């Protein structure tokens, strides 16, 4: 494996980690106004993800930094082409982060209710836009010979992109409900179980529709060698396993199966792209690949040494933080957020 392929794989792994961890953050934020029926209950929901949400976003920052350093042409085309969508996502993430930190600083019901809806919107919008972006990467984008994106925001909001957005939105909502099953007790846990059932059914339906649409709108099922479309079907099978695990009241296994569905779906998209990083719908020869979009071999070598040295410490720290805050949260204890 050459360094170009290695760094494409590492960026894919970073996005897989981000969606797996931040996915339940988004889900809890989306479910916040519906599962928390009192201020105390909403604080319980926020405290399940409070110690983790900002650490989870490190995966996104690292993925973006790695993309900038390893594939500057990919970074430039993607961030200039998706500029408005990314600004909307960034504003949503800022709003959500401020909500986590400031919601409980004032006891006014109006103040707290406003931040609850801000956290809801700041979770829903990124969950939707990530799916829109990934589906469009897979489908292909209007990119010219100078590696410039020639479309606009509306170009991204095509039926296939919106279906991809609906899929990730429901998948992350399910992930949040399953996380709450593991982290809460009593009435909130019962409501989270009900949310997991309906969001799981809708996510499975959306996954099936996305797989069928991908067959016609992308090359996911027509590639030679390892067929990434099979990974997408494996993700669909994992979602069916979630329902079976919930039926046997195995919340831990349900969370694991949903995590596998996220991993399989994101891996299918990156495997479906390779060796491209962005596919041109205008002319296949104008597509960006891991070779024409990459940095110099020297830069990639230095990045590899730095990554091998520092990443184990980051992983160890994050694993430790999850171990420290592993207890369930209920309405009787002191709440921070």
| Nearest residue to 26 (alpha-carbon basis) of 109, 148, 121 | 121
**pTM as predicted:** 0.91
Q: Looking at the DSSP assignment, which residues form a beta bridge with residue 276? A: 289
Helices (H), 184-221: 186-217
Chain centroid to CA 28 = 13
Q: Is it the case that residue 53 has pLDDT exceeding 70?
A: yes
Q: What is the mean pLDDT of the chain?
A: 90
- pLDDT 10s digits, 236-273: 999 999 999 998 889 999 999 999 999 999 998 998 88
Phi first, then psi, for residue 52 (nearest 5°) are -120, -25
pLDDT of 224 higher than 70: no
The candidate with the shortest Cα–Cα distance to 213, out of 277, 136, 125, is 136
Closest CA to 171 of 202, 141, 143, 194: 202
The predicted-structure confidence for 278-333, as pLDDT tens digits, reads as follows 999 898 889 999 999 999 999 999 889 888 888 888 889 888 888 888 888 877 77
Tokens of 244: 């079976």
Rounded CA separation 143/278 (Å): 8
* Residue 250: both structure tokens together: 């195995």
d(CA 299, CA 46): 41
Residue 108, exposed/middle/buried by CB under 10 A (0-12, 13-18, 19+)?
exposed
According to DSSP, residue 277 is labeled: E
């Amino acid at each position: 494996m050459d360094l170009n392929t290695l760094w494409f794989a590492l960026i894919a792994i970073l996005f897989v980690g981000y969606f797996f961890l931040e996915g339940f953050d988004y889900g809890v934020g989306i479910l916040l106004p519906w599962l928390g029926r009192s201020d105390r209950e909403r604080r319980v929901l926020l405290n399940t993800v409070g110690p983790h949400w900002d650490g989870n976003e490190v995966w996104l920052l690292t993925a973006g930094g790695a993309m900038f350093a390893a594939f500057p042409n990919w970074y430039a085309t993607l961030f200039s082409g998706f500029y408005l969508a990314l600004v909307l996502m960034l504003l949503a993430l800022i709003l959500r982060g401020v909500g986590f930190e400031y919601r409980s600083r004032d006891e006014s019901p109006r103040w707290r209710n406003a931040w609850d809806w801000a956290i809801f919107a700041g979770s829903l919008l990124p969950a939707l836009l990530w799916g829109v972006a990934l589906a469009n990467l897979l489908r292909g984008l209007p990119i010219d010979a100078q590696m410039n994106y020639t479309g606009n925001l509306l170009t991204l909001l095509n039926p296939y992109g919106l279906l991809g957005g609906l899929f990730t939105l429901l998948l992350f909502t399910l992930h949040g409900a399953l996380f709450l099953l593991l982290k809460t007790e009593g009435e909130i846990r019962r409501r989270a179980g009900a949310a997991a059932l309906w969001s799981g059914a809708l996510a499975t339906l959306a996954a099936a529709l996305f797989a069928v649409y991908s067959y016609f709108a992308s090359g996911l099922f027509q590639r030679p060698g390892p067929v990434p479309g099979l990974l997408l079907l494996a993700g669909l099978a994992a979602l069916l396993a979630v329902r079976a695990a919930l039926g046997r009241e195995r919340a831990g296994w349900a969370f694991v199966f949903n995590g596998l569905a996220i991993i399989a779906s994101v891996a299918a998209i990156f495997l479906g792209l390779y060796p491209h990083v962005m596919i041109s719908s205008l002319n296949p020869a104008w597509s960006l690949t891991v070779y024409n979009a990459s940095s110099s071999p020297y830069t990639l070598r230095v990045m590899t040494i730095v990554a091998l040295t520092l990443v184990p410490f980051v992983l160890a720290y994050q694993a430790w933080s999850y171990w420290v805050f592993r207890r369930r949260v209920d309405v009787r204890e002191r709440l921070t957020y």
